[in-house]
Structure 1
Amino acid sequence: MDYYGCSRTKRRRIKAKAAEHLQMLEDLHAKNQVSSNLECVTELNSQIPSEQWDTQTQACWSESGQESDSGMFFSDSSEELNLDGSAERTNPFNDLKRKLAYWAPNHNISQSALSELLHILVQSELDLPRDPRTLLSTLTTCDVNDIGDGSYYHFRVSNAIISLLSHESDPSTDTLTLCVNIDGLPLFRSSKMELWPILAKIEELPRSNVIIIGLYAGPTKPNSVEDYLYDFIKDLKVVTNEGLHYNGKHYNIALPDAFICDAPARAFLKCTKGHSGYNSCERCTEHGIRMDNKVVFPDLKAPVRTDEQFTDMIDEEHHHGVSPLQELGIGMVSSFVLDCMHLVCLGNVRKLVSLWIKGPLRCRISATTMSIISNHLKSIRKHLPSNFSRKPRFLMEYGQWKATEFRQFLLYMGPAVLQGRLPTRLYNNFMLLSVAMRILLSPALCSEYCDYADKLLKCYVTNFVKIYGSEHVVYNTHNLIHLADDERKFGALDSVSCFPFENYLGTLKRLVRRPQNPLQ
């Protein structure tokens, strides 16, 4: 908010200047018959909707212009008219070109639609290009590095941080710490092409936007993690050693304190066994067993895995290579967060609902009960506050639920709609998970009641084995017993979740307009 909010006095001056300028144009047109082209520009500018620009777009123009109440930037060298009606600025259409150039990508306007709009405006004798590529100044070439079957482009860590600082208030500290996220993003249903971006956030700016450091595009995930991370690691070493200067201030860049990824991405970055492997647990040395065609981890008391043991590869069955991230000297166990979005919301809560609907008979609920619960969820829709991004859906549609819907069900809806309808032992077990996660996600509760939440989670897993059977204690369920360790290091788990990064992935996907050269 600090970036967008100019002082009220400055806003009044800009608006008064604009009103005075428009009045002068009208007077001169009545007296001296100002040219029709200039009149068209004035009328068109007055009809442009007041849309808020993207923050990165604003950063590009913050040095050369000022922001008005509508979110648009006006140049300091605004057009001044002489007494004879002649304009000192050479081209009165520069502002219109600039506004159109940034309006189109910010609202995901297609090239064909923008081309048709330009042809209409050109017929009105406006000095605008006919081709949208000319208006958008689209680059004809883009230098990318070939990595295996795909290509990679590195945006540089320093550039990404400066772009974020340009529209944020100055941090209270001179040291900035990155939280890094790496994940895959499929682009099309009819193609295997996918993106693998390297994203980051700054811990000292918890409300800041996500920044992009590198971007890979290919038919599969990168074949070599060493090649994929080479530019990132090399660049990060330089930035952490030298720091960076911005706006007359020197910032020290600390090594990433947290890598926030889902289980497959963590295994890829750490060069360890995937979540279906016998030695796949990242926090303890428990050896899984195969039951019902699944690898399960029923033991809760296995020795913990440390950063030193990981570096020395004490458990050889856990590794299948040496991770290039070890060059940075980070904790290869403690720095990789067990993301609650994938582990709890999309993992355990979805698993619980599926067991209630189509699990074993000993834990399955009847169709009548399921219909009552769904109708209760439907009745809540009209009373739900606007703070919730999604309205609750029927329980039978859980396969299409998003992570926010599972989180909403776990913390808010579930305790109310399940009470008296779910069998007592199933409901009490669900409440163990709900209360524990409420504590770990709350900044006001997590520090004081972390140990209590840890006991609740271990009790939940123990009872889960008795209720649903050992064959369902898979990787996600087992790792709940290690979840409190992340709170002890990083604080409330909501600050180290994948939710903001997943939202940014949707923004990246909308930028890809065609399957050819998606990275470029």
Structure 2
Amino acid sequence: MWLKIFKAHHFRAVSTEQMSSADQRREYNRIWPRVSRAQKKNTRDGEPNELQNHNDQEMYSDDSPGSGGGCTIEEQLHDDTNIVPETELEQMETSEDSCDGDEDSAVASSFREQLKEWAIDFGEKHNAVDALLKVLKKNGHPELPSTARTLLESTNEVDVETESGMQCVQFDVRGQILEHLKKYPQAVLEKLDSVDISLNVDGLPLFKSNNQSLWPVLCCINLSPKSIFPLSLALVSSKPTSLNFISKTVSKLENVMQNGLEWGDKVIHVQIRCITCDAPAKALVKCIKQYSGYFGCDRCTQKGFWDGRMTYQEVENLTLRTDQSFREVTQLEHHHEGKTSPFSNLSIDMVTSFPVDYMHQCCLGVMKKLLLLWTKGKKETRMSSGQIKEVSVRLEQLKTAIPNNFARKPRGLEHLERWKATEFRQFALYTGKLVLRGVLQDDQFEHFMAFSVAMCMLISPSLVQAHCSYAHELL
């Protein structure tokens, strides 16, 4: 059939009696690729290949038409009387081109979707996907985009609000929580009637060349595993002068806490477990004096004592702060005049809902301070160089005994200035008891053990229930 179409198209285009050999060859080269593609398509679809039933010598005996031996194009065209009507031929050609185009488009679209799913499933970096796309475009896939952004259909367009010199991006709180709840198994969600969330507010410096910083409000869903996502982002110079970026988030969160989340045929209640901040950020979002102020303690009402730095030395017979006293501003010196915390609009305890920052105050605070006193402090508390070397050697020897559950292996005290919080935590809870025994003075070692044992109790969910009062006595 395709041989007849080829002949008819050639015969219709120009009379062979008026064509030279060169013109016949050019006409052949123009028409044959289309017929060849159609023939290959029918072969893939399972139709008989009529062109393979004809010997090439029956059509052409030489590269040049009209040469001696065999049948020339003119003879072949004149011998064939079964010419397809012109109207039918045009319809068939149009249908053929349309089918080829649709098929090629479908294949390209399918390949692009598969490539997109691969990049998302394996979390490939955009620069790696960009390099892969360039290779594919050079090797038979010119229809693919040039960048991962186009492939993944991502956009950089976000609604940025500018207030008080800050650029803010506000997310839909309800939508964010629902989107991340969908990641959990259906069996977990079916039994879920309420969900606890935790919030975190802190600043993140972005550049070393200027003081711009990013202040995100992060939310954590307290299920296993935990899911953490932003509720708002604010770009500020140094520290924010306004808490509007928090106020809008709190307003949306208040609505979610009051009305809950619609999940199928039930409503999931949302409640805040805690709001974690370091000491400077806590003072900022609660609109209270910094911890270095005379009335900066956020747990009790005592006035601090200056001893080279602000200290709060009273540990007994204290008047503790309560949610009611905080909201009623019973101690004016503790609050910033004319400012109210956005979180006070939520139904939370403004004192206990802001827990002590364990990482900064215990690991990077007390434990680091003790080690600096033992290695670089006054003569009466400082270890000798031989003792410092002995502790470092013991720490190095413990490397092989530290399991992979710990993020870092122990390092010697010569690297103390570069220790991370997790290393101070490891020393306070585990290795310090071993490497300091017999090296540190007895009274100093007992002092360290009081801190270490108390911290072990307080961070253990089971021990803190039974020995909380004893940990308080040790501290």
Give me the TM-score of the superposition, normalised by structure 2. 0.73
Distance 2:155 2:144 in 1: 19
Give the conservation status (yes or no) of the 8 Å contact 1:164–1:208: no
AA of the residue aligned to 1:235:
K
**Which of 227, 232, 254 in structure 2 is aligned with 1:237?**
254
1:63 is aligned to none
Distance 1:167 1:249 in 2: 18
Structure 1 residue 250 corresponds to structure 2 residue 267: yes
Identical columns (%): 35
1:180 is aligned to 199
Give the conservation status (yes or no) of the 8 Å contact 1:101–1:135: no
Distance 1:94 1:245 in 2: 36
Kindly report which structure 2 residues correspond to 1:165-314, keeping only aligned pairs within 5 A, or say none. Answer: 165-169=181-185, 170-171=188-189, 172-203=191-222, 205-225=223-243, 227-254=244-271, 256-292=272-308, 294-301=309-316, 302-314=318-330
Kindly report which structure 2 residues correspond to 1:327-476, keeping only aligned pairs within 5 A, or say none. Answer: 327-457=345-475
Distance 2:179 2:274 in 1: 21
Q: CA shift at 1:32, angstroms? A: 5.0
Q: CA shift at 1:417, angstroms? A: 0.6
Q: CA shift at 1:394, angstroms? A: 1.4
Give the conservation status (yes or no) of the 8 Å contact 2:232–2:245: no
Q: CA shift at 1:412, angstroms? A: 0.8
2:134 is aligned to 119
1:486 is aligned to none
- 1:351-398 CA-partner distances (Å, limit 9, x unpaired): 111111111222111111111111111111122111111111111222
Structure 1 residue 135 corresponds to structure 2 residue 135: no
- 1:314-336 CA-partner distances (Å, limit 9, x unpaired): 11111113212212232111211
Distance 1:177 1:264 in 2: 25
Question: What SS is found at the alignment partner of 1:230?
Answer: helix
Give the conservation status (yes or no) of the 8 Å contact 1:178–1:202: yes
Distance 1:412 1:33 in 2: 71
2:170 is aligned to 154
1:507 is aligned to none
Give the conservation status (yes or no) of the 8 Å contact 1:180–1:258: yes
Q: CA shift at 1:155, angstroms? A: 1.6
Give the conservation status (yes or no) of the 8 Å contact 1:149–1:218: yes
Question: What SS is found at the alignment partner of 1:432?
Answer: helix
Distance 2:351 2:429 in 1: 28
Distance 2:212 2:257 in 1: 33
Question: What SS is found at the alignment partner of 1:152?
Answer: strand
Q: CA shift at 1:206, angstroms? A: 4.7
Give the conservation status (yes or no) of the 8 Å contact 2:301–2:321: yes
AA of the residue aligned to 1:299:
E
Distance 2:135 2:105 in 1: 28
- 1:191-233 CA-partner distances (Å, limit 9, x unpaired): 3221111112233x153221221111222232112x1212112
Distance 1:290 1:391 in 2: 38
Give the conservation status (yes or no) of the 8 Å contact 1:192–1:219: yes
Q: CA shift at 1:88, angstroms? A: 11
Question: What SS is found at the alignment partner of 2:218?
Answer: strand
Q: Taking CA–CA contacts closer than 8 Å with sequence separation of 6 or more, which of the two structures ends up with the larger relative contact order?
A: 1
Distance 1:167 1:207 in 2: 10
How many residue pairs get aligned? The number is 371
Q: CA shift at 1:300, angstroms? A: 1.4
C-alpha root-mean-square deviation of aligned residues, in Å?
A: 2.5
Distance 2:140 2:263 in 1: 44
Q: CA shift at 1:140, angstroms? A: 4.9
**Could you say if the C-alpha distance between residues 107 and 342 of structure 1 is closer, same or farther in structure 2, counting changes exceeding 3 Å?**
farther
AA of the residue aligned to 2:368:
R
Distance 2:106 2:129 in 1: 27
Give the conservation status (yes or no) of the 8 Å contact 1:144–1:151: yes
AA of the residue aligned to 1:119:
K
Highest Rg: 1 or 2?
A: 2
2:112 is aligned to 94
Distance 2:380 2:124 in 1: 51
Q: CA shift at 1:87, angstroms? A: 9.4
AA of the residue aligned to 1:272:
I
Question: What SS is found at the alignment partner of 1:194?
Answer: strand
AA of the residue aligned to 1:452:
Y
Distance 1:348 1:109 in 2: 43
AA of the residue aligned to 2:139:
S
Q: CA shift at 1:246, angstroms? A: 2.7
Q: CA shift at 1:287, angstroms? A: 0.8
Q: CA shift at 1:444, angstroms? A: 2.2
Distance 2:200 2:449 in 1: 31
Unpaired segments ≥5 residues, structure 2:
1-39, 47-102
Give the conservation status (yes or no) of the 8 Å contact 1:222–1:228: no
